[in-house]
Structure 1
Amino acid sequence: MLKKLTKTLCVATACAVVAMPVLAADGPLRGNLRVVIGSSSTGGDTYQNSSIIAEALAENIGINIKVDATGVTEAYKALGRDKRGNTVMIFHDQAYLGNLYGVKGYADPFESYIIGPTVAINPGNAYLVPKNSPYQTIEDIIQACANDTQIRVAIQPGGVSEIGYTALKNAIKVRYPGKEGNLVAVNTGSQSDKNQLLFDGQADLINGSVQANEQYTRLPEDDQKAMRFVWLTARKETIEQAHEEGMGATTRDDLLQFVSPSASVTFDGDKDFTFDKEFFFLYNKDMDPAIIEQIDASLTEIFEAGEIQETQKKSFFIPNFKPSAEAQTYLKDKRDQYEVIIEALQ
């Protein structure tokens, strides 16, 4: 009876056994792996996304993985110290945007580290106004600047928060040369700091996210904290991959009103600017290439199995796996595109 049961279980789990990578047994990754992230928050999107990936990798390879919310500076230090490959990093586009903006502590990641695979997109990078604002759309913001009204934008300088502000300023410059100075950055810190500036009437527009700010869009207009989306930087194709129910009380169709082409912020007069906040691995420059191959192989099998995509989408992430070689080329091209508008305004 025991032999019969064992045989039945083996048949039932045959696909899972076959799906386990050869490198799980023979690869160099053994024991423990530390994943440092460019965030000090365990409640933010970087930690949440990294935890989903780490859990899947740990199960697939058969090792222990810990996600450590060290923040940017400490994450880079830890990565730089460990050539063995027991420490890897997960971060997002700020890794190269911080360098382009000249933020202290941000080396060129393509020169100083090895870029690993991409794993997901957070499609929620957003810009919001008070719900009782006279500006109903992002076009209204552009026109206000064209008519010499100063628009104050609360951002956290030097990365993902700033790139949309730069793009908007560039769009005004392209369409109404000389008027881009009417869009003014109010540099601040965390999302709560940006929110507070809006609550206090010290900003007309803020950078936020669908995840962090959607709750405020449900408040009645007479509430001091009530907000309204006017622009999402994500590509239309990215938002279309989200679940139909969207986030909170904001459906996918609602969100599509705030992306290009419905909400247009031109890049060069011909095409619109878009930006997907993407998460990817970074490795020590001298790490064993076999570890890169092992992680690539494991993630390939995980994403081919299909379960992780559903887990990501439940947390409002869009699956976007690209193995290391493909990710390196893709992210370099992306970096070069945004470098154009950053340099044009410096």
Structure 2
Amino acid sequence: MKKIAFGMCLAVSTVAASFTAAAADSPLPGNVRIVIGSTSTGGDTYQVSAIVADALSKKLDINAKVDAVGPTAALQAIAKSTDGSTIMLFHDQSYVGNLYGVRGFPDIFKEYKIGPTVAINPGDAFLVPAKSPYKTVDDILKAAGEGKRIRVAIQPGGTSALGYTALKNAVAVRFPGKEGNVVAVNTGSQADKNQLLFDGNADVINGSVQGNEQYTRLPADDQKAMRFVWITARQQTLQQANPEGMGQTSREQLLTYATPAASVTLDGKKNWAFDKEFFLIYNADIKPEVVAALDKALAEIYADGSIKTTLKKSFFIPNFMPAKDAQGYLKAKADETKVLIDKIK
């Protein structure tokens, strides 16, 4: 019995030593906090982050947990972490907020380090009541051009504001001087935007395929019934979604609300489209070996493929790009976005 007990202790100590050695070889700490730029645990940012955190935990044998603290608190948290114990995951609002001049949104390209991209949400959308006289996004643009006031419910400084700006710009291009007929109804959560539509206090709202598709299946005489009129994602991105689409709306049906079928012009020649992309953000002085380790781990995770299946089931498009490439790509995207915003200021 003593020999057996000794053998068991030896085996346990050997395993513990191997884990200790593995941890010592890794530049990442055993516990990693992933802060996100949202306070919701039911939104798209949390969903993507939870999927990525789970994959990293398994791949690196670490404890990666998501903390929904909001954009300002998240940026403050990573400003104190150079060892990778706290990293951030968010989407384009992290730089769009700065372009709109929203307090609490610094220039992330100057003050932080951009990490890899991980996914796209192709479901950013605009909707109208089922009984609305506006059947398409073109109807909305024409109505504004004819002098009708179009109230659009958005979250100021977010990606929803970007879609609103694109609508306003399209009216300016097609009907110069009439862009003032497109007005923002600034609000907060998706529930608030939905309520504005239910109560008749907005003509159009920003929403999402994931969150609003259920309302498009209601009987037309239901106060909560809605219709999609525009999905802002690029056509080639939306085409990567599973054929079944989301809920009872197929991918082919969703494509009828995206460019080029639904046209929101940028300059009279080119349609505007925008992919809502999720990526990691680090402390500006994060250790290079931590960046390399996360890049390597995610590259292997995406090459394995199971994360792609998981993301697509939730109507996200897998989109891994290592930190070095993501930095240049997202900076160029931000510069293009600034041109649109500056046109309507």
- Please say whether Structure 1 and Structure 2 have the same fold, judged by a TM-score greater than 0.5: yes
Inter-partner Cα distance in structure 1 for 2:282 and 2:134: 44
Asked if the contact 1:161/1:207 (under 8 Å) is kept, the reply is yes
| 2:267 is the counterpart of 1:268 | yes
| 2:134 is the counterpart of 1:135 | yes
Q: Who is 2:291 aligned against?
A: 292
CA drift at 1:211? 0.7
Calculate percent identity across the aligned residue pairs: 62
Give structure 1 regions of 4+ aligned residues with deviation exceeding 2 angstroms: 23-27
Asked if the contact 1:37/1:47 (under 8 Å) is kept, the reply is yes
Inter-partner Cα distance in structure 1 for 2:234 and 2:72: 30
Q: Who is 2:243 aligned against?
A: 244
CA drift at 1:343? 0.7
Number of aligned residues: 324
TM-score (norm 1): 0.92
Asked if the contact 1:75/1:89 (under 8 Å) is kept, the reply is yes
CA drift at 1:84? 2.2
CA drift at 1:56? 0.6
TM-score (norm 2): 0.92
CA drift at 1:54? 0.7
* 1:192-218 deviation per Cα after TM superposition (whole angstroms, max 9, x unaligned): 101011001110000000011001000
Change over 3 Å in CA distance of 1:149–1:84 after alignment to 2? same
* 1:2-48 deviation per Cα after TM superposition (whole angstroms, max 9, x unaligned): xxxxxxxxxxxxxxxxxxxxx98733113111100001111111011
* 1:278-316 deviation per Cα after TM superposition (whole angstroms, max 9, x unaligned): 000000011101100000000000111111100000011
Asked if the contact 1:235/1:275 (under 8 Å) is kept, the reply is yes
* 1:241-295 deviation per Cα after TM superposition (whole angstroms, max 9, x unaligned): 1111111111101100000000000111111100111000000011101100000
| 2:39 is the counterpart of 1:37 | no
Q: Who is 1:259 aligned against?
A: 258
Inter-partner Cα distance in structure 2 for 1:309 and 1:66: 20
Inter-partner Cα distance in structure 2 for 1:26 and 1:269: 56
Q: Who is 2:122 aligned against?
A: 123
Asked if the contact 2:28/2:83 (under 8 Å) is kept, the reply is no
Asked if the contact 1:198/1:206 (under 8 Å) is kept, the reply is yes
| 2:41 is the counterpart of 1:78 | no
Inter-partner Cα distance in structure 2 for 1:327 and 1:132: 43
Give the SS at the match of 2:79: helix
Give the SS at the match of 1:170: helix
Matches within 5 A, 1:1-346: 26-346=25-345
Asked if the contact 1:130/1:226 (under 8 Å) is kept, the reply is yes
Inter-partner Cα distance in structure 1 for 2:317 and 2:70: 23
Asked if the contact 1:39/1:71 (under 8 Å) is kept, the reply is yes
Give the SS at the match of 1:230: strand
Asked if the contact 1:97/1:159 (under 8 Å) is kept, the reply is yes
Give the SS at the match of 1:296: helix
Asked if the contact 1:93/1:278 (under 8 Å) is kept, the reply is yes
List runs of 5+ in structure 1 lacking aligned partners: 1-22
Asked if the contact 1:191/1:208 (under 8 Å) is kept, the reply is yes
Inter-partner Cα distance in structure 1 for 2:23 and 2:125: 40
Asked if the contact 2:89/2:279 (under 8 Å) is kept, the reply is yes
